[in-house]
Amino acid sequence: MKIYLNGQFVDSADAAISVFDHGLLYGDGVFEGIRLYGGNVFRLEEHLERLEYSARAIMLDIPHTRAELSEIVCETCRQNGLTDAYIRLVVTRGVGDLGLAPWTCPKPSVFVIASKISLYPQEYYDNGLAIVTVPTRRIGPAALPPTVKSLNYLNNILGKIEARQFGALEAIMLNEQGYVAECTADNIFIVHKGELITPAISHGALKGITRDAVLDIAEELKVPLRDSSMTRYDVWCADECFLTGSGAEVVPVIALDGRRIGDGKPGPITREVLASFRRRVLVEGTRI
């Protein structure tokens, strides 16, 4: 496997980052998780824009233009002969002194991994996931805006550990006010009386690229749409529920906290959104 690392393509065994890189020492950096489908990078421009916004938020100057980053991502896929892949694009603060001060890091590190991804097994797309609400709250905007896709994922990792302790693969994280924010690595949607509802970004969610794609799909399918506040009650009493993310794509949820959602099977709108998403990814995107 060839990895792009600071201007070069190197073998994965040689793709090493310094122990003085602040990405490692402090989680000081930003990243994107992107998908390649049938030789097309899905919504690459949107991913690169989000990366730029994340970098701006943490005052990190990405040493590349958007066009350069786009080419680096595509070339990494070509170098590995991939047509379907998960792409991890990372920009760290770079090598610096011990101590938080980011100004001791003169040069950000940039690397891209393009590899196979292990999706949820097909049975979850067919039968749905049972998820739980975890005690760890999604970090609030007053601490670190959850819209920043930073290398510091400990908040979500604590949520993921708790999910596993409850025997679930994914979990709802509430915001500090107790409203549903999102899951540990996915956005959440419910369907109630024919309406599609997702928590507003201001409730502590990442502005997911897949979430945006589903909002477009809902418009195309003429499903009424709302982004608003959402409580666990809304999910317990929903007719349908699904999660979205670059890794998960669109995955049905059939139970929350031991309460069955709808009839306990993936619902018709969920199935339609999933089918539409799978069609879209094959035709939309940047040809590598």
Q: Cite the active site residues.
A: 149
Determine if 211 is a binding residue for ligand PXG (CB under 6 A). Answer: yes
Identify which of 118, 232, 129 has the alpha carbon closest to the alpha carbon of residue 181.
232
Determine if 206 is a binding residue for ligand PXG (CB under 6 A). Answer: yes
Looking up tokens 């101590």, which residue turns up? 99
**Given the complex with ligand PXG, which of 107 and 116 has the nearer CB atom?**
116
The three-state DSSP-derived secondary structure of 76-112 is HHHHCCCCCEEEEEEEECCECCCCCCHHHCCCCEEEE
Helices (H) and strands (E) in the chain, counts: 8, 16
Q: What is the DSSP letter of 12?
A: G
**Given the complex with ligand PXG, which of 108 and 245 has the nearer CB atom?**
245
Which member of 21, 28, 170, 186 binds ligand PXG (CB under 6 A)? 186
**Per residue in 91-103, is it b (16+ CB within 10 Å) or e — as a string?**
bbbbbbeeeeebe
Which member of 94, 108, 208, 285 binds ligand PXG (CB under 6 A)? 208
Q: Is 114 helix (H, G, I), strand (E, B) or coil?
A: strand
Site for ligand PXG in 241-280 (CB under 6 A): 244-247
CB of 182 to ligand PXG, least distance (A): 5
**Given the complex with ligand PXG, which of 145 and 247 has the nearer CB atom?**
247
Q: Is 21 helix (H, G, I), strand (E, B) or coil?
A: strand
Determine if 198 is a binding residue for ligand PXG (CB under 6 A). Answer: no
Determine if 63 is a binding residue for ligand PXG (CB under 6 A). Answer: no
Which residues is 81 bridged to in the sheet? none
**Given the complex with ligand PXG, which of 24 and 117 has the nearer CB atom?**
117
Binding site for ligand PXG (CB under 6 A): 33, 156, 182, 185-187, 206, 208-211, 244-247
